[in-house]
Amino acid sequence: MNIVLELYGLIAIGATALAITRTIPVHGLLYLVVSLLALACMFDELGAPFAAMLEIIVYAGAIIVLFVFVVMMINLGQPDQLREKGWFAGGAWIGPGVIAALLMGLLVYGTQRSTMAVGTAGTPIGPQQVGLTLYGPYILTVELSSFLLLAGLVSAYHIGRRIGGKS
């Protein structure tokens, strides 16, 4: 029934693996975009088109573009690639591998125990329901994240101010 969903999942996993192993940062970021798009497709397949679109707009369309922007600005060259190649050798894998395996185990354990219904129930959840839920039961979260955004805005304004008078 859900071959499409599993296909998206495989694409996401493969793209993420490639994103980790690329030595050229921009290529890695591109694979990350592919992974995020696959994730968005999975959301849509599971009946959450609003979340899928937000995933594309916010992550793929804005955040990763900023990553690419920064990578472009700092102008990485050949020496950085060689250094990155060195990181893949030998023991550098062990620490992240163990932590990722732990996380994976926890996730599997959690999903096994969870009693919540897993999507694919049929009716897609439209933006209206999402909005009602956000501003109903989850209003506190929304307000807290708005604090966070305000703090980000203020600090960005503080960093971006003109130093030394003369506007």
Partner 1 sequence: MMSIIWPILVIVVTVFGVLGVAAVSTMLERRLLGVFQDRPGPNRVGPFGLFQVIADAMKMLFKQDWIPPFADKPVFLIAPIIGFLAVLLCFGVVPITPIWSVAGNLNVGLLFIFGMLGLGVYSVVLAGWSSNNKYALLGGMRAAAQMISYEVFMGLSVMGVVMAAGSFSIRDIVDAQTNCWFIIPQFLGAVIFFLAGVAETHRLPFDFPEGENEIGAGFHTEYSGMKFGMFYLAEYAGVALSSALVTTLYLGGWHGPLLPPFLWFAIKVFLLICFYILLRAALPRPRYDQLMSFGWKVLLPLSLLNILVTGAVVLLRAGV
Distance of closest approach, residue 114 Cβ to partner 1, in angstroms:
27
Binding residues for partner 1 restricted to 58-87, rule: CB under 8 A:
60-62, 65-66, 68-69, 72-73
The reply to whether 56 sits near partner 1 by the rule CB under 8 A is yes
Torsion of Cα atoms, 92 then 33 then 106 then 100, to 10°? 0
Report the distance separating Cα 126 and Cα 50, nearest Å: 6
**Least distance to partner 1, CB of residue 126, Å:** 5
- Residues 6+ away with beta carbon under 8 Å from 58: none
Residue 5 binds partner 1, judged by CB under 8 A? no
**Quick one: tokens of 76?**
């990485």
- The count of other CB atoms within 10 Å of the CB of residue 116 is 6
The contacts of residue 123 (CB under 8 Å, 6+ apart) are 47
Q: At its nearest, how many Å lie between partner 1 and the CB of residue 54?
A: 7
**What is the nearest approach in angstroms of partner 1 to the Cβ of residue 49?**
5
Q: Which residues between 14 and 53 bind partner 1 (CB under 8 A)?
A: 24, 26-27, 30, 33, 40, 49-50, 52-53
Instruction: Give the binding-site size for partner 1 (rule: CB under 8 A).
Output: 26
> Binding mask 115-144 vs partner 1 (x if CB under 8 A, - otherwise)?
---------x-xxx----------------
Question: Contact between 149 and partner 1 (CB under 8 A)?
Answer: no
Residues making up the chain, counted from first to last:
167
Q: Is 165 left (phi over 0), alpha (psi -120 to 50) or beta?
A: left
What does the alpha-carbon distance between residue 79 and residue 139 come to, in Å, rounded to a whole number?
Answer: 49
Q: Which residues bind partner 1 (CB under 8 A)?
A: 24, 26-27, 30, 33, 40, 49-50, 52-54, 56-57, 60-62, 65-66, 68-69, 72-73, 124, 126-128
